[in-house]
Structure 1
């Protein structure tokens, strides 16, 4: 039955991220298309690296409900004079700036235009009174604008005791429905994704992350009400800590609301699969499908890759850090180590070079006198990543000891492996165990700059020893998308087989 349905079965892959940077979504779509399904990839643009034969529906999420609290903060007792809306604050501050400019122009006119003394004196008095009135009004507006900014800042990061108390009340009285109150931005995504997903009318929805899961389940319910059966596969990544208690409770409530409604669950590691089954009381252990690149011959980038982008000769040592530079990923350890590694250069391949945290890293590198050896490079298409990185000497993963880093091998780890790069990883559970077993790199104590320097130095002393680990035939084949996608496609076949 699955074989007869496969040619006509429609699969929708739903991503909440920018499609060009979502390697998981692109690989899932490519695998489903290669298996003969009709695939539609739904996510945020741009989408320039989409696999051949895959239809793309780009969505734009208008942050209306999610930003309402910021645009119209309630002043309350702490900010009683704050403007009631961002528009009112902007209007008033712009008006007072315009008045200041007009008064300055009037002063210049009084100095240039000749008038009889009595008229000049009267004009000067009126001018002084206008400035006095303006000063009082400007001071009042500055006070109200400052209170408005304070209210908005608190709304951006609601982490006070009062905020946490209100969050707990929502969790207590609303239960799993608390996400609607605590994170209305999820409803913005429903407005953007829901109609697009309904128009595709898929037979199977592959939802990446808990935010896409809710959209998928609701679309499936609407479709089934009209007589169209839809299977939902939830692709569950490791839970990343949220910035506030409010966001944590909202994410947990949303996930618990829809996790048990999925027809199947996929994740990226065995330990995480067991945790998900225990957390949500799933009837079966989730299918494991790690986010590994496809296996290719020895990679070689046509434009020279990361080393050429840094304008470095072949004999200059170069380490590379792939992915967003977040504090918990340990890029500061790399910067602090550069003064002790002499001629070593570090390349950060990042999605957004204007990230404020990157500015902090650049400032720190300048303080240490190593800014000339720090290179910030843009992302390349997902299928080119291993070849692009292959000209470096070391791939680094200096992540901190946090729960979401412990149970799984990062997709960046697999990218380094397919680039045949020796790796330096911190002593988080999964990556440290894999590195010590395979011998493809060194492990250091997370956050320990001196130990990081020791690990990098060990690899630079004898890099061939670590690259040899990838010569074993089974290693990269096991860590390849060709292998990892097999259980995913088997899951699709089971779900799309006997259908009601």
Structure 2
């Protein structure tokens, strides 16, 4: 096999969600490079993961040994800045107060002038002078401090002294490169630059007989225009370190032609940097995230109602409030934000909407994956980039604008230089004055009025020239030019399609009372056959490595001998795996904890789902509060407390050991909350049509469900009453056949809860009306975790111990109600519990495409 050059990509974040890094890594992999990505560890992300199934990502902790030396100095400088800001704010308030006094005096609010009115103008002038003097003094001191820091930073490697955190990053990445021994280094953004330069310098000096290792600097932004957090030494340190270190780079790539020009002119570069725009992948069109439909549907906005969408971080300097303000001028317009789950920024939007009385037309939704953005937002009418003026924003070529292009949305952008020129050149929207809400509203209206004309300009060529694929060749040329002398470019790799789903069912702990995932083997067989019909491959064995030294909890593990062996094993056995559904333990390496295996697979883009059906995992207090007739309310205090403790312990073990959960019980799913999905019971047998029954109605009483004492008493009375000949009563259980169930007109299920059991659902598929329990009026608030059960509706009859006889009599006396109820039961079962529907939900839970 031809040697695959090892490229190490480095970035100063945890990689997750950095679409440029992910796309660049996949491009290198597809071209034939062996790629490793090095990032910085974060408490929310596993130390080792994989991009697109086979590109390892190593996250290493950032030390603080160097930066801690100036921690107190930085703290003092920030405190001084805050003190100055506070003083300025107080003086400004003082001026405003006396302006009010003078204004009231001039309006004759007082019939008898007060002393402060008489001398208000004099006092106001004095306070304005004081405020202006302090403001000028602060500005001068700030400028002096800035120049002092810039002077220090401009000394040979003075930025090391000014902002020592750069040296902490240098150590992190130098150690990583030393461990990984790359043939080529691709540096994303500023953080890894010092580490790359140090490694290349030392490695090449120590190995004079080997071809030199080279590095590429991929500048994602224009640092001199960025707003850094205070103090000013922070900005000076990073800006000047980039200026020094980029001279050691063997090649430079950046994100726009404007930035390439800036780099060449500012740094006197002999060669113009290559341009690789961070555009969406054209091949990603059609990608959808599980559980998300499209932006219009998820916002609940009808077709025909105008909708403008913003994708990205919510920050005031990005002009997001201008969008809300524009709604005052367009009474039918809606705006939607696709953004991170940052409560503070979302509150800022909501408060502005509340202030202006437009809350019903402002929508905030969570991000979808980068690959799914354009498809998801394509049902909007307009895409918006409302940046406010900053040097960096004038240079910015926002990814979001090209996401709007792929979605074929007219673009409305503020008059920042690069983005406005882009929109004007292509004629794909309208430019407005930044921060001007009325002008933004006019731009919205223009795009709505000329929508079809604008969309017609999105030809296949325009979309291709604004896609990642169009720019990939630039990266290819830069990488090949920097390969060690004598090393041939790699051969492009054919990436296997991820089309295999693994089911791992552990029945070792099954009991009749606590069956496993698919206690009925036919249920799993039916799902596997349906998946195969749709083109998925299905297997029942999880490839596993023997126990080995090392742990994925250590980011450096991947390049140890065991780590390399694991990487080879993973690429060989999991490259075509799309999802894993399992019960019991999930161990891709013997004796590894579940969370390691599920975390690694999920990070590689392979969704895992731990499926369970044990009902003893619910919130017991919520059950007891929501359902007055629930059997737990018949337990004595000691038995209740023991059962409650058991459920809490089981819940904690499940949630700590597994990332994503599937349950066969809707109440358990709601009780668990986030990261838990409901997979309905699969009904395999249906009647062709509702059977015709002559004579007295037949009532089925399910005998193997747990009932509280009052409920059990009522059910036994019904069985006795049937002997008097008013109706027929038969006992049913989980082994009852379709014929047994189809003989019933009505089936009395457990009244503990307001959702049918599996036997009850099978009875609905046989054309029977099913009676279940009802929720009560909880006055304690304990039932709140189950409040969303109200969203689960079906054509069953919600009854109670006290109403059961009354409800049965109504069905018995009203043949039309009984007939329509039986038909509704059969229709519901077909629509919600067929193999096609259950398979759809399973595939969606695995975040795969519905086929």
**Would the TM-score normalized by the shorter structure come out above 0.5?**
yes
Is 2:284–2:372's contact at 8 Å kept on the other side of the alignment? no
User: Which residue among 255, 276, 280 is the counterpart of 2:267?
Assistant: 280
Q: Residue in 1 aligned with 2:448?
A: 460
In 2 relative to 1, CA 373–197 (structure 1 residues): closer, same or farther, beyond 3 Å? farther
Aligned pair partner of 2:227 in 236, 241, 265: 241
1:290-338 per-residue CA deviation (whole Å, 9 max, x = no partner) reads 1111113864636313223323333332221111122322111112112
- Do the aligned residues in 2 keep the contact of 1:273 with 1:285 (CA within 8 Å)? yes
Closer, same or farther: CA 328–170 of 1 in aligned 2, 3 Å:
closer
Poorly superposed stretches of 4+, deviation over 6 Å: 71-76
Asked if 1 retains the 8 angstrom alpha-carbon contact of 2:327 and 2:333, the reply is yes
Asked if the contact 1:217/1:261 (under 8 Å) is kept, the reply is yes
1:258 matched to 2:254? no
* CA 1:455–1:176: 2 relative to 1, 3 Å: farther
Cα displacement (A) at 1:167: 5.1
Confirm or deny: 8 A CA contact 1:440 1:468 kept in the other structure.
no
Q: Does 1:342 align with 2:326?
A: no
Q: Call closer, same or farther: CA 1:388–1:219 in 2, change over 3 Å.
A: farther
Counterpart pick for 1:446 among 431, 434, 456? 434
Change in CA separation of 1:194 and 1:431 when aligned onto 2, cut-off 3 Å = same
Tell me which residue corresponds to 1:103.
none
> Alpha-carbon deviation of 1:216?
1.8
Residues in 2 aligned to 1:297 and 1:198: alpha-carbon distance in whole angstroms: 35
Instruction: State the distance in 2 between where 1:219 and 1:331 align.
Output: 42
Matched with 2:317 is 328
> Partner residue of 2:151?
172
Secondary structure of residue in 2 paired with 1:21: coil
How far apart are 1:398 and its partner, in Å? 0.9
Q: Write the distance in 2 (CA, Å) between the matches of 1:312 and 1:243.
A: 39
Asked which structure has the greater RCO (Cα within 8 Å, sep 6+), the reply is 1
Taking structure 1 as the reference length, what is the TM-score of the superposition? 0.75
Answer whether contact 1:346 1:374 (CA < 8 A) is retained.
yes
1:424 aligns with 2:426: no
Structure 2 residue aligned with 1:202: 182
CA distance in 1, matches of 2:14, 2:324: 28
Q: How far apart are residue 493 of structure 1 and its match? A: 0.9
CA contact (8 A) 1:21 1:351 kept: no
Aligned to 2:59: 58
1:385–1:415 Cα contact (<8 Å) kept: yes
Q: 1:368 to 1:376 in 2, by over 3 A?
A: same
Equivalent residue in structure 1 for 2:294, among 289, 302, 305 = 305
Shifted more, 162-171 versus 224-233: the winner is 162-171
CA distance in 1, matches of 2:319, 2:258: 23
- CA, structure 1 residues 173+242, in 2 after alignment: closer, same or farther (shift >3 Å)? closer
Aligned counterpart, 1:19: 15
Q: How many residues align?
A: 414
Evaluate the alpha carbon distance shift between residue 49 and residue 439 of structure 1 in structure 2; reply closer, same or farther with a 3 A threshold: farther
Match in the other structure for 1:489: 476
The correspondence of residues 373-392 of structure 1 with structure 2, limited to 5 A, is 373-392=361-380
Structure 1 residue aligned with 2:467, among 480, 484, 495? Answer: 480
Aligned equivalent of 1:184, options 164, 185, 190? 164
CA contact (8 A) 1:353 1:378 kept: no
Contact 2:50 2:56 in 1 (8 A): no
Deviation per CA, 1:113-140: give whole Å up to 9, x if none. xxxxxxxxxxxxxxxxxxxxxxxxxxxx
Indicate the larger mover: 182-191 or 256-265: 182-191
Judge conservation of contact 1:300–1:390 (CA < 8 Å) in 2.
Answer: no
Contact conserved, 1:351 with 1:379, CA < 8 A, in 2?
yes
**Structure 1 equivalent of residue 200 of structure 2:** 220
Q: Distance in 1 between matches of 2:140 and 2:336?
A: 41
Aligned to 1:115: none
Deviation, structure 1 residue 75: 6.8
Q: What's the secondary structure of 2:157's corresponding residue?
A: helix
Contact 2:287 2:372 in 1 (8 A): no
Q: Secondary structure at the match of 2:253?
A: strand
Tell whether the 8 Å contact from 2:215 to 2:482 is kept in structure 1 after alignment. Answer: no
In the superposition, the TM-score normalised over structure 2's length comes to: 0.46
**Deviations along 1:401-443, whole A, 9 cap, x unmatched?**
3322234532111111112111101122222222122222111
Name stretches of at least 5 consecutive residues in structure 2 with no aligned partner: 81-137, 488-851
* In 1, Cα distance between equivalents of 2:301 and 2:144: 55
Supply the distance in 2 between the matched residues of 1:41 and 1:30 (Cα, whole angstroms).
11
- Aligned-partner SS, 1:18: coil
Identify the match of residue 394 of structure 1 among 382, 401, 405: 382
* Aligned equivalent of 2:614: none
Distance 1:25 1:282, change over 3 A: same
More helix by share: 1
> Which of 53-62 and 262-271 deviates more?
53-62
The structure-2 alpha-carbon separation of the partners of 1:161 and 1:18, relative to structure 1 and needing over 3 Å to count, comes to farther
Does the C-alpha gap of structure 1 residues 187 and 359 become closer, same or farther in structure 2, counting only changes over 3 Å? farther
What secondary structure, in the 3-state scheme, does the structure 2 residue paired with 1:17 have?
coil
Alignment of 1:44-193 (within 5 A): 44=40, 46=45, 50-63=51-64, 65-66=66-67, 69-70=70-71, 165-166=144-145, 168-173=147-152, 175-193=155-173
